[in-house]
Structures are given as C-alpha cells and as structure tokens.
Amino acid sequence: MRYLLVDRILEWEPGRKIRGVKNIAMSEDFLEYHFPKNPVMPGVLLLEAQAQLAGWLEAASSDFRSWCLIQRVQQCHFYGFAYPGDRVEIEVQWKTNPAEGEKTFAGACSVDGQRKVVTEFGCKIVTLAEIDDVSDRRESFRLLTRG
C-alpha cells in the first residue's frame, strides 16, 4: 500500500466490526496540493482508510487467510473536512454477504465526535497469501493493536 491510513486499531469483534484511528500530520505529502494554503485530507483517502480497516477486520476474522479489496461504493456522504492535527476515528461494520466472495460494509469517519464521512461499500474477498506476505500482515496487525 502506498498510503497506510490506519495508525492504530483500537478494538475489533471478529466477523462484526472494527474501530481505529488515523492521525493527520502536516507532513503528509497529499496535503501539499490538497489544497494549497488550506490543507485538508482528501475525502477519497478517508474512504480508503475505511476500506483498509475492513481489510484488517477480514484478516483478523479469518486467521489471516483472506483480505478484502474495495470494488464498489454504494453510498458516500461527506459532512466536513479533516485537517492536519486531527485524530480521525474510523469505524467499519460488516453488513451483509450478498454473494460468495463478497461482503458489504458500513463505515464512518469522525473527528471530535463530528462525522466527516459515512459510507457503504462492497468488497471482494481475496486470499491474503496471493497479494501479500501473511507473516508481514500478522506483524503489522500486532503493531497496530499494540498486541
């Protein structure tokens, strides 16, 4: 991944939900151009943070046998900006399993209790070993959860 958009995983319930945070630093390279003299985290990266958190939920729920890759966004509502210095709280919940190999998630990002993005998105479930090193992902999960 080019951008690792989850800095810490706070809690998770296998097969159900996960909660994490992204701390926005002024040194993030995407802030340089988005927008000049008014830096905000791009909304699409807040969506990507939710998708990454859904991937961690799938991995932790499957003993790191699978991961999910976002393939469609059913709904996405933006309510405000996330700025440098903000601690973005991210929550993702598993909703449905409409077809074999797919899952639907509901996600939300907020800062200081104020929502910024609310989404519903579908993911394709893939074998983790086919896209990444499983032991590396296990170690990353351990670090993210302070396990």
User: Are 138 and 128 spatial neighbours (Cβ–Cβ below 8 Å)?
Assistant: no
Half-sphere exposure of 126 (CA within 13 A, CB side): 15
Q: Which of 105, 145, 144, 141 is nearest to 124 (CA)?
A: 105
| 71 phi/psi in degrees, rounded to 5 | -130, -15
Q: Which of 82, 99, 7 is nearest to 52 (CA)?
A: 7
Q: Is 77 a known active-site residue?
A: no
Options 8, 34, 95, 138, the catalytic residue: 34
Active site residues: 34
